[in-house]
């Protein structure tokens, strides 16, 4: 019976999460109850020290700073200006508006790293415009949902920060390792839009000539420079300082937060009310992450105290699974778990359990971390429970039905699975850049 206790603990936590109980309190509460029943009070002398160690982790300071940067940029109107300019720039092409949505989504991902904020912002700004221009509803919703989730893989991503911390892998290496997979994914999205607009020209029409004529005047260059220069400088300040070894990810996050504030000031959008709103939202999101992290620490302590990691390792060894088979099994579990629970819970519940086994199997943890991030991104899009789909449905016009969103996202799920398979079969796509820069 004692050998099965780790699995019972895992099952009870997962069941309560699926039933909708709060993640942080479920993780912490169930773990404490199991710990008391199994070990008594003395076992929890370790818990405050473990929680304190997490709370004083220098790397995790990057989380509130990147959240602040993302929220501040969302309120600055940067996305709106970028989208309008890109739409006019690519307006001559069929599918040009969809191409602009993907490029802006990638730039917002490289500026913020927050999926929910990106999907909602893009949904509010671009979906009504795409529908007004005659785009098919499935293509429009699929494009917005997919581009909004690029924040999961394109650095600086909060997912990569948390995965790096949990897996004990350099966050800077995680950021560098995600660059090539992120570029591949964006490129495949763009190729699909071009193909879709050729197959069905009516689903992705070009913009009216009169609107383009207004844009292609003397003010075009000024408008393009204004729309691109500021976000590009911010991206270079954050990622460039990390890749060149000038700053750690935490220091770069501080640069990004300060830069986002300056950008908002420069645009004349900063006010005391807006600053309070940003601070409140940042505090809310950060508190949620760290409460979950505290609960996950209790879970990890009890799970390892029950020798759960040793039990799982022995289970894998006894089953004589090859490293490839175990990797496939874990990827399927993470993919399915992404239907029901958020990436933060998966990062703090599933990842710490399986990483020691991957270490025994001599699997590169940097490569594994990038695979986890790409897998979580795919689960964000997959019906029936993909979070990005719910974000978009919440801000979509009444004529957009859930079935439209589900149909539109299918090609992008296939694309993401192709990109994931490319990184699986060619690990150098994730490991080459960190080694080359070092």
Average pLDDT of the segment spanning 340-347? 70
Q: Is the pTM here over 0.85, yes or no?
A: no
Angle at 247 between CA 241 and CA 249, to 5 degrees: 90
Least confident residue range of 157-171, 288-302, 411-425: 288-302
Most confident range, picked from 50-59, 287-296, 323-332, 390-399: 323-332
pLDDT at 36 over 80: yes
pLDDT at 1 over 60: no
Domain boundaries, the chain: 58-437
Question: Which tops the pLDDT comparison, 202 or 373?
Answer: 373
pLDDT at 370 over 90: yes
Please tell me the predicted confidence (pLDDT) of residue 216.
61
Question: Which tops the pLDDT comparison, 420 or 97?
Answer: 420
pLDDT at 248 over 80: no
pLDDT at 111 over 70: no
Residue 208 DSSP one-character state: P
**Do residues 118 and 108 lie in contact, with contact meaning Cβ atoms separated by under 8 Å?**
yes
Give residue-wise pLDDT tens across range 193-210.
999 888 888 877 876 666
Please tell me the predicted confidence (pLDDT) of residue 23.
67
Please tell me the predicted confidence (pLDDT) of residue 423.
94
Average pLDDT of the segment spanning 39-52? 76
Least confident residue range of 97-111, 295-309, 346-360, 407-421: 295-309
Which residues make Cβ contacts (< 8 Å) with residue 209, sequence separation at least 6? none
Give residue-wise pLDDT tens across range 275-331.
898 888 888 877 877 777 777 778 777 877 777 766 666 666 676 778 888 888 888
Please tell me the predicted confidence (pLDDT) of residue 402.
78
Which residues make Cβ contacts (< 8 Å) with residue 35, sequence separation at least 6? 43, 44, 298, 301, 302, 305
Mean pLDDT of the chain: 79
Three-state SS at 341: coil
CA distance 232 to 142: 26
Please tell me the predicted confidence (pLDDT) of residue 367.
94
Question: Which tops the pLDDT comparison, 46 or 262?
Answer: 262
In the structure, what pLDDT confidence band is assigned to residue 2 with cuts at 50, 70 and 90?
Answer: low
pLDDT at 180 over 90: yes
Q: Please, what is the end-to-end C-alpha distance for the chain in angstroms?
A: 49
Give residue-wise pLDDT tens across range 17-26.
667 677 678 8
Q: What are phi and psi of 348, to 5 degrees?
A: -95, -15
Q: Of 410, 344, 332, 341, nearest to 145 (Cα)?
A: 410
DSSP string, 50-114: HHHHHHT-SGGGHHHHHHHHHHHHHHTTHHHHHHHHHHHHTTTSTTHHHHHHHHHHHHHHHHT--
In the structure, what pLDDT confidence band is assigned to residue 117 with cuts at 50, 70 and 90?
Answer: low
Tally of CA atoms within 13 A in the half-sphere of 260 that contains its CB:
29
């Amino acid at each position: 019976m004692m050998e099965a206790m780790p699995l019972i603990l895992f099952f009870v936590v997962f069941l309560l999460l699926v039933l909708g109980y709060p993640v942080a309190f479920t993780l912490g509460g169930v773990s404490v109850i199991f710990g008391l029943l199994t070990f008594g009070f003395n076992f929890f002398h370790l818990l405050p020290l473990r929680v304190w160690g997490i709370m004083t982790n220098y790397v995790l300071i990057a989380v509130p700073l990147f959240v602040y940067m993302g929220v501040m940029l969302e309120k600055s109107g940067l996305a709106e200006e970028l989208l309008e300019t890109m739409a006019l720039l690519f307006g001559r092409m069929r599918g040009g508006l969809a191409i602009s949505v993907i490029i802006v989504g990638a730039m917002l991902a490289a500026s913020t790293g927050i999926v929910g904020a990106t999907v909602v912002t893009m949904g509010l700004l671009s979906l009504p415009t795409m529908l007004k221009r005659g785009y098919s509803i499935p293509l429009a919703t699929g494009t917005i949902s997919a581009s909004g989730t690029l924040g999961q893989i394109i650095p600086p991503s909060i997912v990569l920060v948390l995965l790096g911390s949990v897996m004990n892998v350099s966050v800077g290496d995680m950021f560098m390792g995600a660059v090539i997979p992120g570029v591949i994914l964006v490129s495949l999205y763009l190729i699909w839009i071009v193909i879709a607009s050729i197959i069905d020209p009516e689903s992705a029409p070009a913009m009216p000539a009169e609107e383009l004529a207004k844009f292609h005047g003397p003010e075009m260059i000024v408008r393009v420079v204004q729309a691109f220069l500021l976000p590009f400088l911010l991206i270079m300040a954050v990622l460039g300082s990390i890749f060149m070894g000038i700053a750690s990810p935490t220091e770069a996050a501080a640069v990004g937060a300060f830069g986002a504030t300056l950008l908002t000031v420069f645009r004349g959008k900063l006010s005391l009310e807006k600053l309070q709103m940003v601070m409140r939202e940042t505090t809310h999101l950060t508190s949620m992450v760290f409460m979950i992290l505290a609960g996950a620490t209790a879970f990890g302590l009890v799970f390892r105290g029950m020798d759960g990691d040793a039990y799982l390792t022995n289970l894998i060894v006894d089953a004589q699974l090859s490293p490839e088979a175990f990797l496939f099994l874990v990827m399927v579990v993470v993919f399915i778990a992404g239907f029901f629970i958020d990436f933060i819970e998966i990062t703090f519940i599933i990842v710490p359990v399986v990483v020691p086994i991957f270490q025994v199997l001599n699997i590169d943890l940097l490569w594994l971390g990038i695979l986890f991030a790409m897998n979580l991104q795919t689960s964000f899009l997959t019906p029936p429970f993909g979070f990005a789909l719910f974000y978009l449905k919440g801000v979509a016009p009444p004529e957009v039905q859930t079935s439209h969103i589900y149909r539109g996202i299918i090609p992008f799920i296939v694309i993401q699975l192709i990109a994931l398979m490319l990184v699986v079969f060619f690990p150098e796509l994730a490991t080459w850049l960190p080694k080359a820069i070092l």
